[in-house]
Structure 1
Amino acid sequence: MNVEDFDFHLPEELIAQTPLLDRTASRLLVLDRKTGETKDRDFVSIIDELNAGDCLVLNDTRVLPARLYGTKNETGASIEVLLLKQTEGDEWETLVKPAKRVKEGTVISFGDGRLTAECTGEAGHGGRLLKMKYEGIFHEILDELGEMPLPPYIKETLPDQERYQTVFAKNRGSAAAPTAGLHFTTELLEQIQQKGVHLAFITLHVGLGTFRPVSVENVEEHEMHAEFYQMSEGTARLLKSVKENGGRVIAVGTTSARTLETIVRDHGDYEEASGWTSIFIYPGYEVKGFDGLLTNFHLPKSTLVMLVSAVAGKDPVINAYKHAVEQRYRFFSFGDAMFIR
């Protein structure tokens, strides 16, 4: 299977640069995976696509303000740091720019010394391990000094950083938002529950592998970065009950989808679990962990388009994407949504 099979023409002006003022004001493309038919709707009509007894599975990860700007203590040179994941204690795996200026023993200062970081070694893919030193509570300092790590295709600044968080964001740890969840408001979620639809929460801390392009021609040769996931006993019990009573499990976003598939693959059912997943879902994979998927529109030739194609079929998905382009849907993190039923 070739990466080029998942390509499509996307005019640059369709890449949404800023979020809409109203989270629910996006459009919704509904794709029937049995027939390949599409319908153009507004996002608030998602409530009409759900039935009493169904369950939305939402990723409650919270994005860290993980981009830091500092200076080398030795020379005063400017250094940009992006926190990827906490490895042990106060040590973090990071990406730094320019990497060649940061070697083992280099000390970087942020916020006039409120936070310093010493390089303790190299990490994979050109990264660096940094040991953080500070007084007080690390996350409070990070909230003050850090910036939201917006995807590379977003060139505009984001005045309100909470617009890159879901309204149910809770567990800190992501380098990127689970963007399908950005469309929901508290009020819409309450209306959905009033219809008899359940809400379940899982956690998957999104890594920068989300944006890493597929650099091989053969899809099967691509390797995914590992990301931390967690499902509670309560969520597992709820999902089992939904299935036993004939309801549908609807994954909100590819991160929820990958978490559900990982757990069902490894345990045979929904179970309390946590760990690291590098699951790669592409056509030929049989989806067992969910019955429907709500997702944004993704990059051409990306692993996310491949995942969506595994759910609904490559040709129906590419055709739906071409329709979305023709109808001027907004793409990527701050864009519109698609519901695969």
Structure 2
Amino acid sequence: MAAPATDQFQPGHRIPVHHQDKPGFQYKMPNPKPIDDQLPTDDGGFQPYKPAGKLKGRRAIITGGDSGIGRAVAILYAMEGASSLLVYLPEEEQDAQATKRDVEKHGVKCHLLAIDVRKKENCRKVVDTAIKEMGGVDILVNNAAFQHMLQDISQLTEEQWERTFDTNIHPFYYLSKYCLEHMKRGATIINCSSVNHYIGRGDLLDYTSTKGAIVAFTRALSNQQLKKGIRVNCVCPGPIWTPLIPSTMETKAMEEFHMVPMGRPGQPSEVATCFVFLASPDSSYISGQCLHPNGGVVVNG
């Protein structure tokens, strides 16, 4: 039975405006908190995600797995039968432990690794840990990201530009490279990009630039790896209610966060279903492509 209607799935819903220090913490977000494992119903209510065993026995690495989209992906993967290694920053330990508890409720193992993936040697450690703890890697979810709003390129320091690229695209290369040493036919890599590079968001110049690079990386790596039977795809979310928002966005941007054709922000669970689809045999004829859970924003390219 569907649960009663909630504003979170209604047009006109506005997120509670509040601000946090970076990197943002889900446990500190006010109610209503992000939704991890429920989806909308036609009458405006919500219902639990309904698994079908699509990822039984699979093993996933999920960066940024402590909260937000990463947490929802880990939970839905667990419901579908996949174990996971969650990668996150040391200061995000409390959120990571909560995610681990939610994942292991579904009878699979959840391993944790607090590490900064901006360093290539740490990316190698991520993959080595996955091999040691899970015996292999079938799914790589490149999801970790950094952003900071600025109105003009004159305000964007060289240090921030480099930090954003070091977080948002360089680990995608390192983790993919090191995972592919162990991946077999049928494995998948799923990268998280954004709607922003399609619309050219000026107040997130560096972030938007990295998200465009992710799409290009996805397409090229797919063309390279398909001959090995390994698919590479991308998810490009629109405005999704995660800890990244209160820790990086200005008040005005948060007040306008619902301004997409559907009239509301999305929930992490509504993005995580795309990651399930792209990791499962349901998407067996799809590679080098982008899915767009963005509230109805029409994009091209």
TM-score when normalising by structure 1: 0.26
In terms of fraction of residues, the more strand-rich structure is: 1
Q: Select the structure of larger CA radius of gyration.
A: 1
Structure with the larger RCO, 1 or 2 (CA within 8 Å, 6+ apart): 1
TM-score when normalising by structure 2: 0.28
